[in-house]
Structure 1
């Protein structure tokens, strides 16, 4: 079950949720049919709960939001992009252990 701390990000709300966010945003680009994405989901949930004071966590369904996928050149999923002040500052392609994402969050 997904964390209530995760924001569903769409083409329509990207600006309000990411660009205008008052804190950094970690965005998981994923799809329902993607096995590695499903494996990463519990880690994303843990991060959303444990780091809610430091970062907003969002998920973009690439099938439903192709415009965002194209804009950020998401070619493989899962892709996790970190934004600060609306700008992309880090990107990880593939599924990694929680510590990898925590290291990026702690450097923001």
Structure 2
């Protein structure tokens, strides 16, 4: 779907994505999708990423008002993907004044390459598959939260996070993981839900709780782990 029109200026389109709060640019130049855009994007991804081939061709034909044969040609020649179609439709609905089809297709291809926002709260150390073992080995006692994007219980639990952490002894390290990005972590600790709260001692999992926790539930988790707060 990426445009080949030489008149299309990718830098100008990126500036527009940033101005429209589709994309955030960090001081180091790293780009991430905004939470607001990603929430809208998730709806289209859920609808379009699993389309069968015939449904996909029909969707492309409908979106660009072309017949099925031309849609099949575009998919083949331009390498149109389901992810790009989902991003295109999200941008079309998200932008107050969407540009023309060529520019919008270019923007969609750019958005697909941008990382989604992490669900790990600001200020909480984020672990990845490459470093969680070192983190657990480094800290005698630790709590790790498993978060997920587009997760209502996660967002509600984050609202209570300061109150929860007030229950935590000072000798505990705290970190979080993006449950959608840490396959090895999920497999090792059999994570099947978000949010999930894990308490570790000497690198070993000693207590866990699935679902939203409030302060009293978090205190219960601490009690179950060691018999003391």
Which has the higher Rg, Structure 1 or Structure 2? Answer: 2
Distance 1:51 1:72 in 2: 22
8 Å CA contact retained: 2:209, 2:221: no
Q: 1:44-55 maps to which residues of 2 (within 5 A)?
A: 44-48=161-165, 51=168, 53-55=170-172
Q: Deviations along 1:42-80, whole A, 9 cap, x unmatched? A: 333444466361321111101111211111111111111
Structure 2 residue corresponding to 1:85, chosen from 202, 208, 215: 202
Provide the TM-score with structure 1 as the length reference: 0.81
TM-score (norm 2): 0.41
Shift >2 Å, 4+ stretches: 42-52, 102-108
1:60-71 equivalences under 5 Å are: 60-71=177-188
Runs (5+) with no aligned partner, structure 2:
1-120
Q: CA deviation at 1:105?
A: 3.2
| Structure 1 or 2: more helix by fraction | 2
Q: How many residues align?
A: 105
What are structure 1's unaligned runs of at least 5 residues?
A: none
Among 20, 31, 40, the alignment partner of 2:148 is 31
Assess if the C-alpha contact under 8 Å between 1:55 and 1:105 holds in 2: no
SS of the residue 1:17 aligns to: helix
Retained in 2: the 8 A contact 1:81–1:90? yes
Structure 2: distance between partners of 1:30 and 1:70 = 15
